[in-house]
């Protein structure tokens, strides 16, 4: 961080403030409304979406970013972007938005999806009531409470000496490789998931599993929990339904890898930086 760069501060909130200019994270499906200029992509700042001719289906107050209110909003599928704005997928915006705004967009799209899909009680089908002081809904008939859903997933960088294991999913853009990832299953610890996913996807065993960091990932509602692990044995054998190629790479000879805001890239960059220090 630059010595004069002030870090952004987000404070979650439930109860909205009085009428004020706010950041609006407004979605049609998974596509976010953004202001576009030749040099930047920004989140609209407005008192209300009605200022630009849009009427939300549902809104949720998110909290404050650097003291400014933030809202999520679900728009009709027929909503049209105003002049100078566009609806873009979060994958397209991953590199265009700054990190605090992408993180808030990830939070917002998950809350929009939760709000939309929990209008009725999953037990008795009664319309749910939004709680005032908590991000939750309660059924007035049977008392069931519903909170925004998170799907925990591990993401792991496997290393063998000065080599890193990278793999290609058929879903990746052409040529791109990344570290391995997978969802946690019921009854598993995170370390169990790391070992199982690596074994299932590329056929090798790992040891020395260490926590690295975490990142919300809104595709659709994951919490990515990052680890590093050392190679412990076995030959690379790809699971064809998940992995089309995997190989060991030297830090100075990497293939195309994910963008800088992803935890996958942070894992890879940390490995490359550590390798550079050991070579110095």
Candidate CATH numbers 1.10.287, 3.90.79, 1.10.10, 3.40.50; the one for domain 10-117: 3.90.79
Indicate the annotated binding residues: 91, 121, 124, 134, 139, 142, 147, 181, 197, 201, 215-222, 242, 264
pTM metric for this prediction: 0.80
Same fold, 10-117 and 151-279: yes
Provide the mean pLDDT of the chain: 92
73, two tokens: 């909003």
Indicate the annotated binding residues for a divalent metal cation: 181, 197, 201, 242
Percent of the chain with pLDDT over 70: 97
175, two tokens: 């040529």
Instruction: Find residue 247's DSSP bridge partners.
Output: 166
| Residue 234 confidence (pLDDT) | 96
**What fold characterizes domain 151-279?**
Nucleoside Triphosphate Pyrophosphohydrolase (3.90.79)
Contacts of 93 (CB under 8 A, 6+ apart): 32, 34, 41, 102, 105
As a whole number of angstroms, the distance between CA 106 and CA 191 comes to 26
* 3-class state of residue 76 by DSSP: coil
Over 90: is that where the pLDDT of 11 sits? yes
Mean pLDDT of 27-50: 93
The domain limits of the chain are 10-117, 119-144, 151-279
Residues 100-128: tens digit of each pLDDT? 898 899 999 999 999 999 999 999 999 99
Over 80: is that where the pLDDT of 3 sits? no
Indicate the annotated binding residues for substrate: 91, 134, 147, 215-222, 264
As a whole number of angstroms, the distance between CA 76 and CA 56 comes to 7
- Residue 37: pLDDT band with limits 50, 70, 90: confident
Residue with tokens 């969802």: 183
As a whole number of angstroms, the distance between CA 239 and CA 229 comes to 19
Residue (of 97, 99, 125) closest to 32 by Cα position:
97
Percent of the chain with pLDDT over 90: 80
Indicate the annotated binding residues for Zn(2+): 121, 124, 139, 142
| Residue 217 confidence (pLDDT) | 83
- Residue 7: pLDDT band with limits 50, 70, 90: low
Residues 200-244: tens digit of each pLDDT? 999 999 999 999 999 988 877 889 999 999 999 999 999 999 999
Number of continuous H segments (helices) and E segments (strands) in the chain: 4, 17
| Residue 280 confidence (pLDDT) | 58
Over 50: is that where the pLDDT of 80 sits? yes
Instruction: Find residue 71's DSSP bridge partners.
Output: 24, 61
| Contact present, 64 and 10 (Cβ < 8 Å) | yes
| Residue 149 confidence (pLDDT) | 86
| Residue 6 confidence (pLDDT) | 44
Task: Specify the DSSP element, H or E, that contains 119.
Answer: none
Residue (of 27, 59, 28) closest to 130 by Cα position:
59
């Amino acid at each position: 961080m630059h010595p004069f760069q002030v870090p952004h501060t987000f404070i979650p909130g439930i109860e909205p403030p009085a009428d004020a200019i706010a950041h609006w994270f407004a979605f049609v499906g998974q596509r976010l409304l953004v202001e576009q200029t030749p040099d930047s992509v920004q989140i609209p700042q407005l008192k209300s979406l009605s200022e630009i001719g849009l009427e939300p289906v549902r809104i949720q107050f998110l909290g404050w970013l650097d003291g400014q209110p933030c809202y999520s909003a679900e728009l009709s599928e027929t909503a049209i972007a105003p002049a100078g704005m566009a609806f873009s997928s979060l994958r397209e915006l991953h590199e265009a938005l700054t990190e605090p705004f992408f993180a808030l967009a990830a939070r917002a799209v998950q809350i929009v999806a939760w709000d939309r899909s929990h209008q009725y009680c999953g037990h008795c089908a009664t319309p749910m009531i939004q709680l005032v002081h908590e991000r939750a809904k309660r059924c007035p008939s049977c008392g069931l409470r519903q909170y925004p859903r998170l799907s925990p997933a591990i993401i792991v960088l496997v290393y063998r000496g000065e080599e890193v294991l990278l793999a290609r999913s058929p879903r990746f853009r052409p040529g791109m490789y990344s570290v391995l990832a997978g969802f946690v299953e019921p009854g598993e610890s995170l370390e169990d998931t790391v070992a199982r996913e690596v074994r299932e996807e590329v056929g090798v065993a790992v040891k020395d599993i260490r926590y690295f960091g975490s990142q919300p990932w809104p595709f659709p509602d994951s919490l990515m929990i990052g680890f590093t692990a050392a190679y412990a044995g076995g030959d690379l054998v790809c699971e064809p339904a998940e992995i089309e190629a995997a190989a060991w790479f030297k830090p100075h000879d990497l293939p195309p890898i994910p963008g800088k805001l992803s935890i996958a890239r942070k894992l890879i960059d940390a490995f490359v930086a550590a390798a550079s220090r050991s070579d110095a």
